[in-house]
Structure 1
Amino acid sequence: MGNTKLIGATPNDWLWASERMRWRRVYAGRADQVRAAREFAEALFTGMPCVDIVALAVGELAANAVRHTRSGEEADGWFGLEVVCHNPAYIAVTDMGGHGIPTVLPEGYGGSYSEGGRGLRMLYELALMFGVHGSSPLGHTVWVDIDLNRKLEGGTQSPAQLVS
């Protein structure tokens, strides 16, 4: 934790020191690894109001990486997960790139029976900020900022600010 002196500090002081807690993990580009990534993130946010939103975000972003990019197509494919426990929490998944640009579809796109395209829209609605950076040849990172105090079943809030 850098140069922070916490001798004699309480466990809560140590846990919530001013430096952000950041984790990065790499997963094989397989569907079973989506669950592993989601469970890892859930464990980090256990007991926090936002735990269900964090799990949803990791699951959706990781599943998209495996389904829609070279991460899930190539034998040595991978996706990366970055989690920052701060307020707001930062959740990002990096993929190997592929066939397009991750896009938040307009509300109501494809009708109520559409099988795809609603996941990023849902995260956009739940997040404080939402963004994508990178390129199809080199890979994208899709990220969200989530209010630590927001519950999945909580009331409505303004949609995220879209950043690229």
Structure 2
Amino acid sequence: MENATLAGATAADWLWSPPKMRWRRVYPGRIDQVRQARDFAETLFKGAPCVDVVALAVSELAANAVRHTLSGERVDGWFGLEVVYDNPAYIAVTDMGGHGIPTVLPEGYGSPYNESGRGLRTLYELAQVFGVHGNSTHGHTVWVHLDANRKLEADLEAFVRSVS
């Protein structure tokens, strides 16, 4: 927005006007840093309908980076978080690579009582678009586009019905 158009604009118009608001942060590759990343994203999306979906996405992607890649294995490990406040919202986590390719498991995979293995599938179902780029040598970026107007409650009810 140029200065000439600010005369009749609200503070919200200015705050959320183009260019898109984009943040990047790097976190040590420790499990306690997943909460830090999620808290950061929740602060950015506070008051938005999608805040819980964003929090879930950041938690899942960051936890996977720490649990399944060199990001969590190396003393100097790290993961990166990129967030774009827009519609769709963009959430991406970059890891240090090391083990295979992040994979969305097939629908209905395993027991619904398994403690792990369905997180990326859940994000895949919640996302407008889901993607992975990179490789095991140089690291992966796993990203999602999320509808900024979509609340988690309704989605969770539908998801629970689908796995029951």
Q: State whether TM-score is above 0.5.
A: yes
SS of match in other structure, 1:75:
coil
Shift of 1:112: 2.1
Aligned-residue identity in percent: 72
Per the alignment, residue 40 of structure 1 pairs with: 40
Which segment drifts farther, 13-22 or 129-138?
13-22
Shift of 1:117: 1.2
Which segment drifts farther, 114-123 or 43-52?
114-123
CA distance in 1, matches of 2:154, 2:86: 20
CA distance in 1, matches of 2:147, 2:112: 28
Per the alignment, residue 71 of structure 2 pairs with: 71
SS of match in other structure, 1:154:
helix
Shift of 1:7: 4.4
CA distance in 2, matches of 1:106, 1:10: 46
> Could you report, residue by residue, the CA deviation over 1:56-89 in whole angstroms, capped at 9, with x for unpaired residues?
0000000000000000000000000000000000
| C-alpha contact (below 8 Å) 2:6/2:14 kept by paired residues | no
SS of match in other structure, 1:153:
helix
Per the alignment, residue 87 of structure 2 pairs with: 87
CA distance in 2, matches of 1:112, 1:20: 38
Per the alignment, residue 2 of structure 2 pairs with: 4
- Within a 5 Å distance, the mapping from 1:40-59 to structure 2 comes to 40-59=40-59
Give the RMSD, CA atoms, in angstroms: 1.5
CA distance in 1, matches of 2:145, 2:82: 12
> 5+ unaligned residues in a row in structure 1: which ranges?
158-164
> 5+ unaligned residues in a row in structure 2: which ranges?
160-164
Shift of 1:107: 1.0
Per the alignment, residue 134 of structure 1 pairs with: 134
> Could you report, residue by residue, the CA deviation over 1:107-149 in whole angstroms, capped at 9, with x for unpaired residues?
1112223232100000011110000000001000000000000
> Could you report, residue by residue, the CA deviation over 1:90-117 in whole angstroms, capped at 9, with x for unpaired residues?
0000000011100000011122232321
Per the alignment, residue 99 of structure 2 pairs with: 99
CA distance in 2, matches of 1:10, 1:114: 48
How many residues are paired up?
Answer: 155
AA partner of residue 141 (structure 1): T
Per the alignment, residue 153 of structure 2 pairs with: 153
Q: Which runs of 4+ in 1 moved over 4 A?
A: none
AA partner of residue 130 (structure 1): F
Normalised by the size of structure 1, how large is the TM-score?
0.90
Write 1 or 2 for the structure with the bigger share of helix. Answer: 2
